[in-house]
Amino acid sequence: MRPICLILLLLFTAPAYANEHYRAAVDSIPSKIPDRIVLNWSGDPTTTASITWRTDTSITQAEGQIAKADASANFTTWAWIKNARTEKWEHNGNTAHFHSVTFKGLKPNTLYAYRVGSDKIWSSWYQFRTASAEPDEFTFIYFGDAQNNLLALWARTIRTAVLDAPHADFIIHAGDLINRANRDSEWQEWFESGDWIHAKIPSISTPGNHEYYKNGDKRHLSVLWRPHFTLPENGPEGFEETTYYTDYQGARIISLNSNEGREEQVPWLEQVLKNNPNRWTFVTFHHPVYSASDGRDNKDLREAWKPIFDKYAVDMVLQGHDHTYARGNNIGNGVTVRDSTKGTVYVVSVSGPKQYKLRKDRWMTRGAENTQLYQVITVSGDTLSYRAMTAVGELYDAFDLVKQMGKPNKLIDRAPQSPERRWKNTLKKKNKDDKVY
């Protein structure tokens, strides 16, 4: 009876977010029913799609089914079956089976529906569209660190973002999806916060420092990173599913692992940028080239990677880690004078509730503190349109990038005239006269 009493006491006396943590810990126990379903690309987005999910260990044979989506429910009769690869996961006495399938031979720019499961235990049918074979307009969402209080406070950010951009083609997560690398209940919160979003909109994820744990003198990638995701393995040896690239409708999206082996990734990065046939190039990783917060400078990363970004005219670098918002561009090492109309655009952002202060010697054109954000980026021909939105759906920053033949991109600033959000103007005391009935 004592454990039950303790649980009841926690449920009725702890803050709301503590209840969410408890629920996630309970819900993290796997069952026969597929959960943690996530859609990735491990190959060509025009003709392939990879799905990963979890069950308990009683499910030893699983499969995915896929068909062209149709307005008639009869589309299910056209589904074809792909047997899943199943791996047993064990950690600290916990066990689960992780299953994955990669559907191949799909047709470009086609709406498909899929489900995963086994026997009579199936997920819902989820719909997604393959990429076009030729350059075409697309939109994606980019998130900085989610990390803490995911179900309580990050969930609103990802859900608001998808309501804002319901036809987003993919999502970039720039590291620190969770806080403690191997804490299964935190991963449960991340998956539950996004729920069907993870299963419907392909994600491009790069690891942050909180996806790493320390064992002795060495740091290691989370034991749950690779079981959860099926990402490309076209990067350098030893960086599987952390350093990779994907080509999508005229753009190359590159994930780098900023947690280890920064110099080791340089030759691969140089080749991927040198042999890039795409009009647009995005690079994402966790630790910023230019830190937005004091005491967090990454000089060795900047010296290793920025000259390559400059050499190959990377369009945007999307980062996290600093728990602030910052957007700026075209800065040389040690240079404080900048031309804000051209050059690579660097963004640092945060989508979760953990917030720091901006650095005093600012490099950014637009910054923010104490603000949860998401970014919506649309590429159409020679124009990129960028919007940074707060978690309550308000426009905070915006610009266009325009390609110019033989010249650097032209940046057209469209940021609103509203004051920057800082700790001093966002901390509001509760007004006793404000009541909700």
Q: What would the pLDDT profile of 270-312 be if each residue is shown by its tens digit?
A: 999 999 999 999 999 999 999 999 999 999 999 999 999 999 9
The DSSP symbol for 74 reads G
Whole-number pLDDT of residue 256:
99
Q: What would the pLDDT profile of 231-249 be if each residue is shown by its tens digit?
A: 999 999 999 999 999 999 9
Q: What's the number of CA atoms in the CB half-sphere (13 Å) around residue 1?
A: 0
The DSSP symbol for 350 reads B
CATH fold of 35-129 reads: Immunoglobulin-like (2.60.40)
Q: What would the pLDDT profile of 376-407 be if each residue is shown by its tens digit?
A: 999 999 999 999 999 999 999 999 999 999 89
- Percent pLDDT > 90 in the chain is 85
Contacts of 332 (CB under 8 A, 6+ apart): none
Whole-number pLDDT of residue 49:
99
CATH superfamily, region 138-424: Metallo-dependent phosphatases (3.60.21.10)
- Is residue 20 scored above 70 in pLDDT? no
Lowest mean pLDDT among 35-44, 250-259, 402-411: 402-411
The residue among 288, 284, 286 whose CA lies nearest residue 296 is 288
Q: What would the pLDDT profile of 47-63 be if each residue is shown by its tens digit?
A: 999 999 999 999 999 99
Contacts of 178 (CB under 8 A, 6+ apart): 146, 147, 150, 186, 187, 189, 190, 210, 211
Main-chain dihedrals φ then ψ at residue 400, nearest 5 degrees: -115, 145
Helices (H), 180-315: 184-194, 196-200, 225-228, 266-274, 299-311
181: its two tokens? 């690398």
The residue among 109, 140, 160, 135 whose CA lies nearest residue 378 is 140
Contacts of 62 (CB under 8 A, 6+ apart): 34, 53, 55, 83, 84, 86, 97, 99, 116, 117, 118
**Rounded average pLDDT over 316-323:** 98
Whole-number pLDDT of residue 378:
99
The DSSP symbol for 381 reads T
Helices (H), 165-320: 184-194, 196-200, 225-228, 266-274, 299-311
Give the residue range(s) of CATH 3.60.21.10 domains in the chain.
138-424
Q: Is pTM beyond 0.75 here? A: yes
Helix (H) / strand (E) element for 161: namely: helix 155-164
Sign of the torsion angle spanned by Cα atoms 171, 176, 178, 182: positive
Give the residue range(s) of CATH 2.60.40.380 domains in the chain.
35-129
CB 253 within 8 A of CB 282: yes
